[in-house]
Structure 1
Amino acid sequence: MERTDAPEPLVRHFTATGFLAHDGYTALHWHRLGKWLPPGGHLDPNEDPLQAALREIREETGVAARVIETATPYVRGDRARVQPPVSIGIYRVPADSHAPAAHEHIDFIYFVRPAEPGPRPPLPAGDPPWLWVSEAELRAQAPLASGDREAPLPDDVRALGLAAIEWERHDRARSGTSAPEAAAMGAA
């Protein structure tokens, strides 16, 4: 006899997110869930999480990005390495085009910066809106607005956005390129 009171098995999807940071700003967009979120999405078949994050950033923003190495991966022998994420979040998501019922996203979160030096690259115009959000705006803890889209930032988006900006600043210092120098190199 089949049990009818057993809960439905929980469906989980692997996703990847990239906090795209540059010169004191991070890129966020208005998501259909009514929140400001960084670029990201589902892993494609045969794709590792970092490949997915970089692909999603390019698809959603048009910006080619590179990872900011925040940790040294453990390498054993001749095995290929995958840059570890900054964090892994588990988020409950309502039914969508990927699943007919509520499900969870296991999200690999990376900090990235534009692959090419220069000024902040333009973000897509139109709907949904994209914004370069400043460090000051993230620290202000006020709702973020663009047109008729307004919502407080989720706490994890605010904290990770600030951390991505700080790591991008550190990565620039490590590479010996300040934001103005990078802009000048891009203009040369």
Structure 2
Amino acid sequence: MVKHFTSSVFVFGLVRGVWKLGLIEHPRLGRWMIAGGHVEPGESQVDAALREVEEETGRRVRLVRPPGPAVPPEFPRSLLTMPWWITEQPVPPDGHCGDRHVHVDHQYVALANAPDELIRDPELPFRWAVREELDGLTMFADTRLLAARLFAVVPMLGAGDFDAVSILTSLADGGQS
């Protein structure tokens, strides 16, 4: 099976005091989705994530590093932001491959620098959605599930209150603890 690397981003913005998830309407699939796409030659997954968000939403974002192991400050290499999840998704033929293939998707979480500020015209229809709207939108179930869990932790991320145990617990139990 042919595998292609992709990157996608759960973009959150504090819009008039309320945390919202940014979604694009996919023209071919007819669903509300998070921004993302194929990693192009010469790009890292991080580069692709930031490019796709800018192209599809017209916005700039800051990727948020997930809870994970720290690297010593004297580590001599550049570090890339880790994805929150890496998933494999079988997909039908698309513009990158004429056959069924698998997307190895690096899924990131990001905060919009200025949610209402466009730096360019978005390539796709875009909307902000609150948590309560997700169930009523035509979305993939896995995106809806992860987005709902992320809504429980995004206030911590936005405040810089990054308690790894609280975040990981909230993601695992949906904020029920």
Would the TM-score normalized by the shorter structure come out above 0.5?
Answer: yes
Q: 1:61 to 1:128 in 2, by over 3 A?
A: closer
**Candidates 10, 13, 18, aligned match of 1:19:** 10
Deviation at 1:122, TM superposition (A): 6.0
The 2-side partners of 1:75 and 1:28 are apart by 33
Counterpart of 1:75 in structure 2 is 71
Deviation at 1:89, TM superposition (A): 1.4
The 1-side partners of 2:40 and 2:51 are apart by 10
Q: 1:22 to 1:46 in 2, by over 3 A?
A: same
Counterpart of 1:184 in structure 2 is none
The 1-side partners of 2:54 and 2:121 are apart by 15
Deviation at 1:96, TM superposition (A): 1.2
SS of aligned partner of 1:44: coil
Deviations 1:140-177 (A, max 9, x none): x23x2xxxxxx3x22211122223333431122227xx
Number of matched residues?
Answer: 154
Task: Give the unaligned 5+ runs of structure 2.
Answer: 162-177
Q: Does 1:28 align with 2:19?
A: no
Q: Is the 8 A contact 2:131 2:148 kept in 1?
A: yes
Q: Is the 8 A contact 2:58 2:121 kept in 1?
A: no
The 2-side partners of 1:37 and 1:128 are apart by 11
For 2:30, give the aligned amino acid. G
Question: Larger radius of gyration, structure 1 or 2?
Answer: 1
The 2-side partners of 1:124 and 1:107 are apart by 25
The 1-side partners of 2:54 and 2:149 are apart by 21
Counterpart of 1:185 in structure 2 is none
Counterpart of 2:169 in structure 1 is none
Residue identity (%): 32
Task: Give the unaligned 5+ runs of structure 1.
Answer: 1-9, 145-150, 176-188
1:16-165 alignment runs, 5 A limit: 16-23=7-14, 24-31=19-26, 32-75=28-71, 77-116=75-114, 120-121=116-117, 128-138=124-134, 141-142=135-136, 144=137, 151=138, 153-165=139-151
For 2:67, give the aligned amino acid. A
Q: 1:173 to 1:46 in 2, by over 3 A?
A: same
Q: Is the 8 A contact 1:13 1:104 kept in 2?
A: yes
Q: 1:93 to 1:33 in 2, by over 3 A?
A: same
The 1-side partners of 2:150 and 2:118 are apart by 19
- Cα root mean square deviation, aligned: 2.5
Deviation at 1:53, TM superposition (A): 0.5
For 1:38, give the aligned amino acid. I
